[in-house]
Amino acid sequence: MGGGGGGGGAARVGLSRLMSVAFVLLALSGFGVHAGRSRIHKKVHGGGGGGGRHRGGGRGGTVVWSPAVPPADERTQPVTPPPGIVPSDPAVPAQPEQCVFDVRAFGAVGDGTTDDTEAFRAAWKAACAVEAAVLSVPSDGTFTITTTTFAGPCNPGLVFQVDGVLMPPDGPDCWPPSDSRRQWLVFSNLDGLTLRGTGTIEGNGEEWWNLPCKPHKGPNGSTLRGPCDSPTLIRFFMSRNLRVEGLRVENSPEFHFRFDGCSDVRVDGLSIRSPETSPNTDGIHVENTERVAIYNSKISNGDDCISIGTGSYDVDIQNVTCGPGHGISIGSLGVHNSTACVANVTVRNAVIRNSDNGVRIKTWQGGMGAVTGISFDTVVMENVRNCIIIDQYYCLDKRCMNQSTAVRVADVSYANIRGSYDVRSAPIHFACSDTVPCTNITMSEVELLPFSGELVDDPFCWSAYGLQQTPTIPPIYCLQDGLPDALLDNPDLRCR
């Protein structure tokens, strides 16, 4: 009996021990699950609370921030690291948000009549002081401002974004007497500025073109003498690393764009338009500027599509359509017996339509210096009066005196020039100086046929030396061989 009782006690003790072990295992199992969930749901420091996020502050003027992207919901969205980043890598610092300075926040109205000049000046001052700032001209406004210089230096990454319409006062009668009549918008002493947008810069140039001192605007087709200043629409002065992109610019009183004393300039995707009768409305003028790229643009106006003045080096022009107008010109150079230097200009993949000139080099008698290293490659002409022209006797009123010095023209290549010409003039015209002839002109794959009428097969050559590398249409038999002795070791013909 005692043995039976002892067996029951042992069983009770064993059951008690089993229950204790099970309880401990269950507790340990519960602790492990809880700890794992804590690791999965642990909050990341610096997460997206709404009011606690620091967004910086304005540095002068009203700052309009770009809207922030809300953080993903941690409970429903997996966290995907950026490409190339694994979860164990250190955190990637967030990029600063872009500051947008809307001119309306500074008082601009944009109704087409209110003078918004002071608002633009205040917005520029504020944007200039902030890195990666955007001065915004919104798309739903027409903003009128008077002559203004937007000067630097500014912080890096400044963008002047024109999505609406920006324009000067309507003609000389509305121009403030205290403002310069030679320029409207000037961007000066800047490094890294971008002028871009989907909007329009409207020049309101018609009243300027009709001044009686403009060509063909005087009585009976004459031109009245006297002061005749008209503003260049947009001028860049003493600046570098410039980009001008995407804008529509039209009806400038005089030059549409002018680059003076600049370097590292890229112009891309512009539309420039003025009537073919508008005087002196060059599309893009480059002077004392180096390393310039002009790409993918359409220009129609009343003067040179692109003009290249003295002190211009390393200019690359590609995929440009010109016309009507006066074509792509180097010059005029050497006016008033000055020294002029231009080197390394390339024009390729261009179309020139219904123009007085195609590709032109023009210099005044009496000048000094040189134009060298010029290449015109793959240019299509459509009804162009003077397709290929070098004129070292350039003169505006045909009363210029003959002079013995000239700007030297050398190393000029014409390749793959094709299309049609207006038969009123010979399609190829080389009028070079007696004392400073043109040298090393090369012609290859030149085929020019009349737009209508009979073939003009007598190109004009005077003191022109070079080589016809392939048969051309029309033939260029008038090029002379060799190099004149008069050009050797002449210090007046040298540039840098």
Rounded to an integer, what distance in angstroms lies between the CA atom of residue 332 and that of residue 117? 35
- Catalytic residue, candidates 34, 54, 216, 326: 326
Cβ neighbour number for residue 29 with a 10 Å cutoff = 10
Give the contacts of 271 (CB within 8 A, at least 6 positions apart). Answer: 247, 248, 249, 250, 297, 298
The residue type found at 131 is E
Rounded to an integer, what distance in angstroms lies between the CA atom of residue 176 and that of residue 170? 11
Rounded to an integer, what distance in angstroms lies between the CA atom of residue 252 and that of residue 270? 14
In angstroms, how far is CA 435 from the centroid of its own chain? 39
Give the contacts of 68 (CB within 8 A, at least 6 positions apart). Answer: 53, 55, 97
Q: Which residue has the tokens 């200019």?
A: 315
Measure Cα distances from 389 to 80, 185, 218, 370, 384 in Å: 62, 33, 30, 17, 11
As beta bridge partners, residue 290 has 263, 313
In angstroms, how far is CA 188 from the centroid of its own chain? 15
Cβ 302 vs Cβ 274: under 8 Å: yes
The secondary structure element, H or E, covering residue 29 is: helix 2-40
Q: Phi first, then psi: what are they for 17, rounded to 5°?
A: -65, -40
- What is the torsional sign of CA 402, 407, 411, 414? negative
H-type helices in 41-139, by residue range?
117-128
Cβ neighbour number for residue 238 with a 10 Å cutoff = 15
Cβ 325 vs Cβ 356: under 8 Å: yes
Q: Is 326 a catalytic residue?
A: yes
Instruction: Classify each residue of 195-211 as buried b or exposed e, where b means 16 or more C-beta atoms within 10 Å of its C-beta.
Output: bbbebbbbbbbebbbeb
Rounded to an integer, what distance in angstroms lies between the CA atom of residue 211 and that of residue 172? 9
Residues with a known catalytic role: 326
